[in-house]
Structure 1
Amino acid sequence: MFSTMECQKAQFFVTILVILFGVSSSKNVCNPACKAKESFNCDDPLTFNRTSFPKNFTFGAATSAYQIEGAAHRALNGWDSFTHRYPEKVPDRSSGDLACDSFDLYKVRGDLYKEDVKLLKRMKVQAYRLSIAWSRILPKGRLIGGIDENGIKYYNNLINELKANGIEPYVTIFHWDVPQTLEDEYGGFLSRRIVEDYKNYAELLFQRFGDRVKFWITLNQPYSLASKGYGDVSYPPGRCTGCEFGGNSGTEPYVVAHNQLLAHAKTVALYRKRYQVFGSIGLWKISKDNALLSLSHKSATPTPNPPNLFPNHMVGPRLPKFTPQESKLVNGSLDFLGLNYYVTQYATNAPPSTKPSVITDQRVTLGYYRNGVPIGVQAPSYVYYPPGFRQILNYIKNKYGNPLTCITENGIGDLDMGNLTLSNALADNG
């Protein structure tokens, strides 16, 4: 199941991403059995590293720009506006205004990012996934508005430091942070105008960083932006049927998904034509469905090489149509498939809704419990079911011809317990 970065398409190559702002842990961390059976010391997170996995396993870590950089020295994006307007949408009412303040500290200290890379190297990390903040590179969202060379310099320094320490950068071009100027000008991904602006932005990244970046990710979880930003209002821009600022939960999510796919496909075509030498480019998909529920074939995200762009059961009057040329462009527009896995849920049939919505269109009710019994281990934010991880990988392998698949996120979320000592924080009793 595991292979090296140079693996053939018929094999999986896997990158486990330990989210740096919420390090994953297993249920039996720091118990006597763990210490007796494992070669690493469970009390020290820096001994949980590359050597804990097989030799042909790629061990990595990941962040996203909005979640670590802070808002200093960049133009506003959709998350800035959303969290200021609806602070209650985030459980602890936090925002990315400060986050880890990594960019502002970089401006003050100049070399603080090197300390982060040192920590990654101590963990023997082989890959680091970062995202570029669109509005830090292009304050107006478009090339015509000018390039912020300070932003370019910041990412150049980080990429160079990673490479110097033997850590491969995986760069996410877009991680949900649409420049607010483009939201204001034409509605962001509701407009096809963003396809060209996104492609131009991506090309700038290829030109400035492509000589060192071998792995590019066009979009992070396109389903999440479409459904949560335009369906259930938990993400920006916060549009839905009956919402304060308008929207249509039965049509807009599909328009946004449509335009994301076009932006992805046209960017991939550009990359392959002008910039791809030894690099590869793919799309990050969150596993919304899974093998346990036998629902994976109903995914709204196109498969790596689908016979038709959308399954027949999805084709209808509310779904935007691709031209034959666009369908050809989207089909096969992945060198690898990125998979984010966190949870598995039970699904039961739901009756048709009289109010069309991207949520009710699924005709299922999802939940973690069946007959009062949870599917897995209860944690503060979710119920976790580790076997689902293997099941979804096997489903992709068997259903879609074993495409090259990279596990791009996996972990658990936990509560901020304040001033716990490191040893107490690592004593996971959940």
Structure 2
Amino acid sequence: MVTLEPMARCHAFGYALPRGAFILLAIPVMVLFFVQLPKAILPQRLDPVVLPCRMSATHSNGTDCVPFHRSLFPDKFVFGAATAAFQVEGAAYEGGRETNIWDTFSKTPGKTVDGKDGDVASDQYHKYLEDIDLMSQMNLDAFRFSIAWSRIMKLGGPNPVVNQEGVAYYNNLINGLLKKGIQPYVTLYHWDLPQSLYDSYRGWIDRRVVNDFALYAETCFAAFGDRVKHWMTFNEPQQFSNLGYGIGLHAPGRCSDRMKCPEGNSATEPYLAGHNALLAHAVAVDIYRKKFKATQGGMVGIAVDCEWGEPMTDSPADKEAAERHVLFQLGWFLDPIYYGDYPAVMRKYVGDRLPLFTPDEITLLKGSLDFIGLNHYTSRFVAAGTPPANALASSYWEDQAMVSSVTRNGELIGNRAASEWLYIVPWGIGKTLLWLTERYQKPLLYITENGMVRMCVDILPGPLWTISSGPWATLGGLG
């Protein structure tokens, strides 16, 4: 997918631009493409739409560029837009919405740039009809959005209660999309755990979250499944498990380092969080298939993410380290679904800190998806490293026993985008898709996130980095 997301640091003028040409495989893929800017600086009509350019064989300076066009893609190729509830909705205290962990985290001093929060965000809660009109003008086929758990369920009392105002909002959003011929692709969880569940039992590290998620998922299936045909249980469980429970960079901000986090255990909690997310996924899919599949006819998948690992050298050790890096990302969540357990290399390197599945859980997990959503942004060179000396020194990254780098023999893996972690490596997504295809026997794949970030420039349309990773090229259209 091509994702264009607003950048908090850039305020009104920052957004991410897509990375360049795509590698198409003999499998279905989905490109999601999103620009959201303040309405005051948007043109009346978005024609042409911002799209990457396909470089000609003779291209040298960015002027000889063939714009992408729908005719270059298969008839069933899906173009869309992607958001997350906390990123865009706003209305944090309206419509019966309760507090989530990102509300709390973003209001903690020092946790976000300039203390920014999601109280208003892009105000999509109030402006969703305008956004739908813009998507229609862009000729989009699909809109991927997440439902805010804390807008659907009231959990602050003795018993969970469905918030009908929240249900009405998403009904209006879905109906508005369908009226314009735009299909909803819905994510159930994009990192915004209700604060009450964190206060009760610390969220994803407690097995009780599985039942609470199951109730929430069933509520959504019942309310929206007659119109929503593509569901994703989770967005990037690797990220919220590690960044939230391993290094404390994201909500709820847990880690072993007491200089950074008030509580947490980096050696165990990421794996507990990931384990419970997998079980919650499996239970939700089981509910859908038993109660809703026959009448609604939809599909349920999961959106995972991967930073491709390219071996630093041709040595067996570096090749094993690069493969290990990918397995710790994709295999962590997909191997249990396809094969019933975590990758053997994770069992070897993490040991008894990696939870076990019961026979019943294995049965529930195996086969519990209809498609894989891939989020991919960048790649790294990977060399063999040294495993941690003991469990106290362990964490998700140290357990991989590898060293990643953006350079090899003094050369960058690609040009750096505005985000310090994001290097533009067009070939990485193709290798990741091939890896998924080979390991999981040609699954149905959607590219659910992909893009690059350009710092604080007000352009629409304007120049765009191309697959040549250097010169600027002009923009094409989506007509």
**Shorter-normalised TM-score: what interval?**
0.7 to 0.9
Equivalent residue for 1:32? 63
- Which of these residues, 440, 448, 461, is aligned with residue 400 of structure 1? 440
**1:193-245 deviation digits (Å, cap 9, x = unpaired):** 11001000010001110100001100111110111011111111111113332
Is the 2:336–2:362 Cα contact (8 Å) retained in structure 1?
no
How far residue 290 of structure 1 moved from its aligned partner, in angstroms, is 4.6
Equivalent residue for 2:100? 77
Query: Cα 1:294–1:33, aligned 2, differ >3 Å: closer, same or farther?
Result: same
Is the 2:300–2:371 Cα contact (8 Å) retained in structure 1?
yes
Is the 1:24–1:412 Cα contact (8 Å) retained in structure 2?
no
Instruction: Please tell me whether residue 239 in structure 1 is matched to residue 254 in structure 2.
Output: yes
Is the 1:169–1:215 Cα contact (8 Å) retained in structure 2?
yes
SS of the aligned residue for 2:453 comes to coil
Equivalent residue for 1:149? 164
Residues 142-221 of structure 1 mapped to structure 2, 5 A cutoff: 144-221=159-236
Q: Distance in 2 between the 1:128 and 1:143 partners?
A: 35
SS of the aligned residue for 2:437 comes to helix
How far residue 345 of structure 1 moved from its aligned partner, in angstroms, is 0.7
Equivalent residue for 2:79? 59
Query: Cα 1:142–1:157, aligned 2, differ >3 Å: closer, same or farther?
Result: farther
Unaligned runs of 5+ in 1: 1-9, 41-49, 107-111
Is the 1:18–1:24 Cα contact (8 Å) retained in structure 2?
no
- Which of these residues, 412, 429, 440, is aligned with residue 374 of structure 1? 412
Equivalent residue for 1:89? 111
Unaligned runs of 5+ in 2: 1-24, 38-48, 56-60, 312-321, 466-470, 473-479
How far residue 422 of structure 1 moved from its aligned partner, in angstroms, is 3.4
Equivalent residue for 2:28? 13
How far residue 426 of structure 1 moved from its aligned partner, in angstroms, is 4.2
Query: Cα 1:78–1:53, aligned 2, differ >3 Å: closer, same or farther?
Result: same
Equivalent residue for 2:332? 300
Query: Cα 1:201–1:187, aligned 2, differ >3 Å: closer, same or farther?
Result: same
How far residue 367 of structure 1 moved from its aligned partner, in angstroms, is 2.1
Q: Distance in 2 between the 1:226 and 1:336 partners?
A: 21
How far residue 28 of structure 1 moved from its aligned partner, in angstroms, is 8.2
User: So what's the TM-score if we normalise by structure 2?
Assistant: 0.78
Instruction: Please tell me whether residue 321 in structure 1 is matched to residue 356 in structure 2.
Output: yes
How far residue 415 of structure 1 moved from its aligned partner, in angstroms, is 2.1
Query: Cα 1:144–1:416, aligned 2, differ >3 Å: closer, same or farther?
Result: farther
Query: Cα 1:228–1:95, aligned 2, differ >3 Å: closer, same or farther?
Result: same
How far residue 305 of structure 1 moved from its aligned partner, in angstroms, is 5.2
Equivalent residue for 2:134? 119
**1:270-307 deviation digits (Å, cap 9, x = unpaired):** 10000013100011100144576444344322238533
Identity among equivalent positions (%) equals: 39
Corresponding residue pairs, total: 399
Query: Cα 1:19–1:312, aligned 2, differ >3 Å: closer, same or farther?
Result: same
The amino acid that maps onto 1:264 is H
Is the 2:34–2:80 Cα contact (8 Å) retained in structure 1?
no
How far residue 56 of structure 1 moved from its aligned partner, in angstroms, is 2.8
Query: Cα 1:143–1:303, aligned 2, differ >3 Å: closer, same or farther?
Result: farther
SS of the aligned residue for 1:300 comes to helix
Q: Distance in 2 between the 1:352 and 1:142 partners?
A: 46
Query: Cα 1:407–1:385, aligned 2, differ >3 Å: closer, same or farther?
Result: same
SS of the aligned residue for 2:374 comes to strand
Q: Distance in 1 between the 2:189 and 2:340 partners?
A: 26
Equivalent residue for 1:276? 293
Q: Distance in 2 between the 1:158 and 1:351 partners?
A: 50
Let me know the Cα RMSD of the aligned residues. 2.5
The amino acid that maps onto 1:201 is Y
- Which of these residues, 380, 390, 395, is aligned with residue 357 of structure 1? 395
Q: Distance in 1 between the 2:207 and 2:452 partners?
A: 36
Q: Distance in 2 between the 1:20 and 1:357 partners?
A: 36
Equivalent residue for 1:387? 427
Q: Distance in 2 between the 1:192 and 1:331 partners?
A: 19
SS of the aligned residue for 2:455 comes to coil
The amino acid that maps onto 1:400 is Y
